[in-house]
Amino acid sequence: MQLMATKTQLATLFLLLLISATVHGRKPRSRSPCQQYVFYFHDVLFKGYNYKNATSAIVGSPQWGNKTAMAVPYNFGDVVVFDDPITLDNNFHSPPVGRAQGIYLYDQKSTYSAWLGFSFLFNSSDYVGTLNFAGADPLLNKTRDISVIGGTGDFFMARGIATLLTDAFEGDVYFRLRVDIKLYECW
CB 185 within 8 A of CB 161: no
145-164 residues near a copy of itself, rule: CB under 8 A: 145-153, 156-157, 159-161
User: Segment near a copy of itself (CB under 8 A), from 74-82, 87-95, 173-181?
Assistant: 74-82
The minimum distance between CB 119 and a copy of itself, in angstroms, equals 4
The minimum distance between CB 166 and a copy of itself, in angstroms, equals 17
C-alpha dihedral (62, 68, 74, 76), degrees to nearest 10: 20
- 83's CB contacts (< 8 A; 6+ apart) are 55, 56, 99, 100, 101
Residue 6 binds to a copy of itself (criterion: CB under 8 A)? no
The minimum distance between CB 172 and a copy of itself, in angstroms, equals 15
Count the Cβ atoms, other than its own, within 10 Å of residue 43. 21
Among residues 88 and 135, whose Cβ is nearest to a copy of itself? 135
Nearest to 79 by CA among 41, 40, 116, 131: 116
9-48 residues near a copy of itself, rule: CB under 8 A: 9, 11-12, 15-16, 18-20, 22-26, 28-31, 34, 46, 48
Site string for a copy of itself, 93-132 (x = CB under 8 A): ------x-xxx-xxxxxx--x-x-xxx-x-------xx-x
CA 168/CA 146 separation, integer angstroms: 19
SS3 8: helix
44-63 residues near a copy of itself, rule: CB under 8 A: 46, 48, 51, 55, 57-63
